[in-house]
Every structure is written in C-alpha cells, then in structure tokens.
Copies of this chain bind each other. A is one copy, B any other.
C-alpha cells in the first residue's frame, strides 16, 4: 500500500500565479461564470487540487482539506472536483484499480505511471498535441480531453530491482 505524506505534497500553480489572491480570484470567477457559488470549502478544495503536483486522489484531497475544515465531507470533495472539471480547471486521469486521480495541467502531456511505486511523472513531448490534432481531424472527433498514459517501471524502481538482483 502506497503511503503519501500529505505534508510533503508540493504545490504547482502557486509558483505560477503571482500570489494566492490571484489564484482565488481565478477560481471564484470560474465558478460564478457557471453560476456555482464560491463557498469556503470549494475554494479550499480547488486551491489544493489546482496546486498539488502529485495527481492526488479524491481521498488525499479530502484528508488535506479536513485539517482546515474538520467537518468537510468526501461528497463535497467529489462534487467540487466535478465542477472543476466542468469549468475546465482540471482533468481526471483514469488508472487501473479504479482510483481516479486529478491533474491541474490541462496541456497535452504524457503520464509515466510506475506500477511499482505508484508515482506519476509528467512529461512533455511536442508531438503529443500534433498526433491528437491529426487524429481528431481525420476522425471528425471533437476533443474534450486527452490522456497519454504509459505504464511500467520508473528509473528509480528499475535501479532498485537491479541492485536486489546482485
């Protein structure tokens, strides 16, 4: 069983946005744009989901938010994630064993999913967008989201296995 220390989860968009107020107002604007109320719980969940670089599951997000709002419910987390998808602020990844994980990076990129340690590495490759655009055009398909997932062994786990063999 993988254990992720939520205190160590690091943040992403926060370094991109000039400050947390900018992030908040972007979230609020996105919510109100589709007539969703901007509640404190939704803001906290969104802030975390949009800043966390570790592709968290709903439960990881829930555990984190609980520290700030001890009475928050998992149902609210799921509902908020649904809205964030709807307003285009994050996408859902689909992995084996029915654990949905979420990714605030909306640009086409590759996920390297390690089957050994459960980590997910983001990787950019210029051809990904090109392939997607060409296929969509050929098939007359309207793209809503895309995921290129490669499963296997990350370099660290590969090394570890090699060392054990010796």
- Shortest beta-carbon distance from A111 to chain B in Å: 9
A125–B131 touching, CB < 8 Å:
yes
Q: Which 9 A-B pairs have the closest CB atoms?
A: A140-B155, A94-B94, A98-B98, A144-B152, A142-B153, A143-B152, A142-B152, A148-B148, A145-B151
Contact of A135 with B110 at beta-carbon distance under 8 Å, contacts A148-B146, A148-B147 already known:
yes
B148–A131 touching, CB < 8 Å:
yes
B96–A95 touching, CB < 8 Å:
no
Most chain B C-beta atoms within 10 Å of own C-beta, residue among A110, A112, A136, A154: A110
Q: Which residues of A contact B (CB under 8 A)?
A: 92, 94-96, 98, 100, 110, 112, 115, 121, 123, 125, 127-128, 130-132, 134-136, 138-155, 158
Contact of A140 with B152 at beta-carbon distance under 8 Å, contacts A127-B130, A131-B127, A135-B112 already known:
no
Residues of B within 8 A of A155 (CB): 139-141
B146–A149 touching, CB < 8 Å:
yes
B143–A150 touching, CB < 8 Å:
yes
Residues of B within 8 A of A142 (CB): 152-153, 158
Residues of B within 8 A of A134 (CB): 125, 127
Most chain B C-beta atoms within 10 Å of own C-beta, residue among A130, A143, A145, A150: A150
